[in-house]
């Protein structure tokens, strides 16, 4: 067998990626995450991030991080089960549980690690996971690692879901429904008010990944479940997955639910057990930010007002943002090359609204994925709308 080097593998794979027009590179950003940043050397308005509530550089969040760094250092020093379980971690988890009205929570290093930890902890051979066709990659990979049977239903299709639940309820040991709350590329909210009672009727556990909903939606900021009138815990969501790196403005993630769930994860979730604990500065920053989510509700109100202004402004220009009802606002372009040409033209004009292509979205649905922040002004939103409309005219289909 002829040996194959890394360079040869890279040339073959990257060549195919370039040929189909989906080669990606990392942009370089300068400055704090905020409405105004420097991107690839240009001063721009940022409409591509997930710091939705503009808490990442909030003075209270920064000060909490500095204080923790000074007093506790910049590393936890080990995994949570050996030397890394600081009182600060436990305090954050108590804060999150109280904020969400749940019994307990457990911090993970990323949302991806949370899903690839919790799904295999709950399911195995002989079990089944039901998943929406547009589920996040971390749910997909968590399903693969679980070794459970996986059934995928069309996006938001309640009839298809009910048919699957009826089929698997008597043939599998455990049934888990795993869905996103807010879909990260479309900005629509899952039909949780109908979906969760349906799952419960057929004896399924419910995992809700609300990475984009926690902090941004609902009167109390409890996310898509709150908006849909669904309970967290009890007869509602059994397992809630959230992130600390989006609306919370820090880094990390969490799984929240019952005490039994937390204990199960501490003992079985490999991505938790075999990872170094979150660094103290990030944990302290998260605690400060969670407090601000509660004490400054105007942030999520301004965020949703800005998103509505953006959607309405684009609609007035004849540009659809369907199916979005949230702060993730897609503008479907379709063609990869046209999408990126509009993205680059907007960047030159001072707006960073990232173009998204396959495999992040299905082929033929390349789009601008626009994410306003709570602290963008109305005039900034309107200027982006005008620029997008202009570039659509300059780059016709």
Residue 1 has pLDDT above 80, yes or no: no
pLDDT band at residue 222 using 50, 70 and 90 as cut-offs: very high
pLDDT value of residue 348: 96
Residue 229 has pLDDT above 90, yes or no: yes
Residue 10 has pLDDT above 90, yes or no: yes
Q: Helices 378-394 and 336-348: crossing angle, nearest 10°? A: 130
Is there a domain that residue 128 lies in? yes
65-84: per-residue pLDDT in tens?
999 999 999 999 999 999 99
- Picking from 388, 209, 204, 219, the residue whose alpha carbon sits closest to that of residue 300 is 219
Do 263 and 255 contact (CB within 8 A), yes or no? no
pLDDT value of residue 392: 96
Are residues 368 and 275 located together in one domain of the fold?
A: no
**Catalytic choice (89, 212, 327, 376):** 212
275-291: per-residue pLDDT in tens?
999 999 999 999 999 99
Q: Taken in order 185, 382, 227, 105, is the CA torsion positive or negative?
A: positive
pLDDT band at residue 217 using 50, 70 and 90 as cut-offs: very high
**Catalytic choice (105, 184, 224, 286):** 184
**Cα(94)–Cα(183) distance, integer angstroms:** 27
331-352: per-residue pLDDT in tens?
999 999 999 999 999 999 999 9
292-321: per-residue pLDDT in tens?
999 999 999 999 999 999 999 999 999 999
For residue 50, indicate whether it is catalytic: no
Are residues 44 and 114 located together in one domain of the fold?
A: no
Burial class (CB in 10 A: 0-12, 13-18, 19+), 30: exposed
For residue 360, indicate whether it is catalytic: no
pLDDT band at residue 367 using 50, 70 and 90 as cut-offs: very high
pLDDT value of residue 326: 98
CATH code assigned at 320: 3.90.1150.10
Average pLDDT over residues 28-51: 96
* Final residue in a domain of this structure, among 278, 295, 312: 295
* Final residue in a domain of this structure, among 267, 295, 323: 295
Domain that holds residue 357: 21-50+297-394
Are residues 227 and 285 located together in one domain of the fold?
A: yes
For residue 246, indicate whether it is catalytic: yes
**Catalytic choice (58, 136, 246, 376):** 246
Residues with Cβ < 8 Å from 90, sequence gap 6 or more? none
* Final residue in a domain of this structure, among 264, 295, 326: 295
Is there a domain that residue 113 lies in? yes
Q: Taken in order 147, 153, 158, 162, is the CA torsion positive or negative?
A: negative
Is there a domain that residue 5 lies in? no
Residue 20 has pLDDT above 90, yes or no: no
- Picking from 62, 47, 86, the residue whose alpha carbon sits closest to that of residue 250 is 62
8-state DSSP, 270: H
Domain count, the chain: 2
Are residues 274 and 374 located together in one domain of the fold?
A: no
pLDDT value of residue 250: 98
pTM for the full model? 0.96
């Amino acid at each position: 067998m002829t040996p194959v080097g890394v360079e040869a593998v890279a040339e073959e794979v990257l060549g195919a990626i370039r040929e189909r027009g989906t080669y990606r590179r990392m942009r370089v950003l300068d400055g704090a995450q905020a409405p105004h940043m420097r991107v690839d050397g240009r001063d721009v308005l940022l409409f591509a991030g997930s710091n939705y509530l503009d808490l990442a550089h909030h003075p209270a969040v920064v000060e909490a991080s500095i204080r923790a760094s000074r007093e506790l250092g910049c590393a936890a020093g080990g995994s949570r089960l050996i030397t890394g379980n600081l009182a600060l971690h436990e305090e954050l988890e108590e804060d999150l549980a109280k904020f969400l009205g749940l019994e307990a929570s457990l911090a993970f290093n990323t949302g991806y690690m949370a899903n690839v930890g919790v799904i295999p902890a709950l399911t195995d051979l002989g079990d089944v996971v039901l998943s929406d066709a547009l589920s996040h990659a971390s749910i997909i990979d968590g399903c693969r690692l679980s070794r459970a049977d996986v059934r995928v239903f069309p996006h938001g299709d309640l009839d298809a879901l009910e048919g699957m639940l009826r089929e698997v309820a008597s043939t599998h040991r455990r049934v888990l429904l795993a869905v996103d709350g807010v879909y990260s590329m479309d900005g629509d909210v899952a039909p949780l008010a109908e979906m969760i009672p349906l799952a419960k009727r057929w004896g399924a556990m419910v995992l809700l990944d609300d990475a984009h909903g926690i902090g941004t939606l609902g009167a109390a900021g409890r996310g898509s479940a709150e908006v849909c009138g669904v309970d967290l815990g009890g007869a509602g969501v059994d397992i809630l997955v959230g992130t600390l790196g989006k609306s919370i403005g820090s880094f990390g993630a969490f799984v929240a639910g019952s005490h039994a769930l937390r204990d199960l994860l501490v003992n079985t979730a490999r991505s938790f057990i075999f990872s170094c604990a979150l660094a103290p500065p990030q944990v302290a920053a998260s605690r400060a930010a969670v407090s601000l989510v509660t004490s400054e509700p105007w942030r999520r109100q301004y965020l949703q007002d800005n998103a509505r202004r953006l959607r309405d402004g684009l609609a007035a220009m004849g540009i659809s943002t369907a199916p979005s009802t949230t702060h993730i606002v897609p503008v479907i372009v379709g063609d990869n090359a046209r999408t990126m040409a509009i993205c680059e033209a907007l960047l030159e004009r001072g707006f960073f609204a990232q173009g998204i292509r396959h495999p992040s979205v299905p082929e033929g649905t390349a789009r601008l994925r626009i994410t306003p922040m709570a602290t963008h002004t109305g005039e900034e939103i309107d200027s982006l709308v005008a620029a997008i409309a202009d570039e659509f005219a300059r780059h016709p289909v």
